[in-house]
Structure 1
Amino acid sequence: MLYLFLTFVVLLLLVTGTRGFTLLFGLGINVFSIIALLILIADGFNALITTCIISIIILVVAIYMNVDNPNTASTAFKTSLMIMVVILLIMIPLEYWASAQGMAAENQDELEGFSLAAGISYPQLAISIIVINSLGVISETSVAITSGLNEIVENKPTLTPSEIFDDGFSVGNKILNTQTNTLLFNFFASTFPLFFVIHSLGYKFTEVLNDKLVVAEILTTLICTIGVIWTVPITSYLVYIKANNKVKKN
């Protein structure tokens, strides 16, 4: 593990130069933030409130420390915050309705002899997991779309706000395909061991669809995908508003 981490650090510095130290520093802050989130939730702090605070810190570090253009960083940060709110509004009722939180039947052997009275709201914990899981792909998508749009605006300053909005959808459609495939591959990669267990136990198709662990993974993938899709119109609209205000001032 140590050698692999050192290889990662060396390659990062070789590719990015001195900027690699900034990236490593930001990565360290985010790792510390996630560990702090786990400790705070375990100590009894409200999972949703704590997740929102830590998520804002993660977004600030992930976006502002990695994006040089302040306009791009500002737009990407606003978009990511809006998407996070949308995910929370979707997940709070959906998680309670789906009842996919907590442990499943496949965890019985590992949990035997342990007390499940942990004093933690498992629905809130499941929502926190999905929110944290979505931050990376949402911020990455928003930064990519905003950067592409800003470059188009700089090269073609005569574009009207409506044309900029259309270009945002054009750029977003190209990015969506890659991000959706990434989320899909992550889903299958994370559930391969689970599907092997399910196959060996002879689950029926309806039982697979109602298995708690499978439902939890499907919910995570679908919610992250919805967040990525919403990133396109929201980012385009924010850039459109800036361009429209600039036109009015001129």
Structure 2
Amino acid sequence: MGVTAALTIILFSLMALIGGLKGIGAFISLWLNVAVLFIMITLISLSFNVYAVLLIGASILLTITVVSTGGDEDTTSLALLTSFVVMLCLLVLIVPMGKEAMAFGFAVESSEALEGLSLGIRIPFLQLGNAAALLATLGAVAEAAVAMATGLMALHRHGQTLTNQGLIAAALDLGRQIIGTAVNTVLFGFLADFLALGILFMKLHYSLADIINAKLFTSTVLSLLYAILGVVLVLPVTVLGYKFRERSSKSTK
């Protein structure tokens, strides 16, 4: 038995033992997301429009991730609405920023590994880099959206009718607890990715200016900033979505 198979069995056993049906659902959603990513990569490699594949695939990934949390219908719908809006906002930001940063494509450090290979694969590296940057934010955005939506809907279910000021105060209180944890999760992921890259820079005797201007470093830092910005955007978008849902429900009564 390989290491991957053994770890998969251990992960499934622990998730089923601790999480029960929700744990099994989360495990299934993990592999569904892997399948969606594989299909996205295949479609992009076949020269389908990158942004069309990205929007459809990212929407499916967010839906699977949010639905697999097992929340009630109201919480799930609010979290999905928040996730989709934040995703579109990030895409609008990432597209021009990716072009300005010029951090797409292969870096100089990859030249030795690419020697003898053809780069004429007819895939727009700028669009591919933007797609990778957006996909890297989805996990943190979905997690924060579910947490915020759960907190606000819990207040609603307990019959607490909040004024605008009260709603903002409650959302800020939830946001301080959620955003801190989510940002730390993103930051730790960045540090794990940067560990090998930092060792490479040290071995190559890069100066601080060389590191800051390195394409690999720039793309990694941009992904970190996009993810943090996405988590921060979840707070106001969830509040607005909650107010919109509340007004819609009142108008239908």
TM-score range, shorter chain: over 0.9
* Counterpart in the other structure of 1:205: 208
CA RMSD of aligned residues (A): 1.6
Tell me the amino acid that sits aligned with residue 56 of structure 2: I
CA drift of 1:248 comes to 6.3
* Counterpart in the other structure of 1:6: 9
Separation in 2 of the partners of 1:200 and 1:180?
Answer: 30
**Do the aligned partners of 1:165 and 1:237 also contact (CA within 8 Å) in 2?**
no
1:15-54 mapped onto 2 (5 Å cutoff): 15-54=18-57
Separation in 2 of the partners of 1:182 and 1:158?
Answer: 33
Q: Is residue 127 of structure 1 aligned with residue 130 of structure 2?
A: yes
Q: Is residue 118 of structure 1 aligned with residue 121 of structure 2?
A: yes
> Structure 1 residues 91, 102: CA separation in 2 closer, same or farther (over 3 Å shift)?
same
Secondary structure at 1:22 match in 2? helix
- From 65, 88, 91, the counterpart of 1:88: 91
* Counterpart in the other structure of 2:155: 152
Secondary structure at 2:201 match in 1? helix
* Counterpart in the other structure of 2:229: 226
The gaps in structure 1 that reach 5 residues or longer are none
CA drift of 1:47 comes to 1.0
Q: Is residue 136 of structure 1 aligned with residue 139 of structure 2?
A: yes
The gaps in structure 2 that reach 5 residues or longer are none
Separation in 2 of the partners of 1:26 and 1:189?
Answer: 24
Q: Deviation above 4 Å: which 4+ runs of structure 1? A: 244-250
CA drift of 1:124 comes to 0.5
Q: Is residue 235 of structure 1 aligned with residue 235 of structure 2?
A: no
**Do the aligned partners of 1:161 and 1:244 also contact (CA within 8 Å) in 2?**
no
**Do the aligned partners of 1:169 and 1:233 also contact (CA within 8 Å) in 2?**
no
TM-score if structure 2 supplies the norm length? Answer: 0.94
* Counterpart in the other structure of 1:170: 173
Q: Is residue 63 of structure 1 aligned with residue 73 of structure 2?
A: no
Separation in 2 of the partners of 1:151 and 1:18?
Answer: 22
Secondary structure at 2:216 match in 1? helix
Separation in 2 of the partners of 1:196 and 1:248?
Answer: 59
**Do the aligned partners of 1:169 and 1:236 also contact (CA within 8 Å) in 2?**
no
The CA deviation string for residues 89-118 of structure 1, in whole angstroms up to 9 with x for no partner, is: 111111111110011111111101101111
TM-score if structure 1 supplies the norm length? Answer: 0.95
**Do the aligned partners of 1:59 and 1:135 also contact (CA within 8 Å) in 2?**
yes
**Do the aligned partners of 1:42 and 1:120 also contact (CA within 8 Å) in 2?**
yes
Matched residue count: 250
Separation in 2 of the partners of 1:224 and 1:198?
Answer: 24
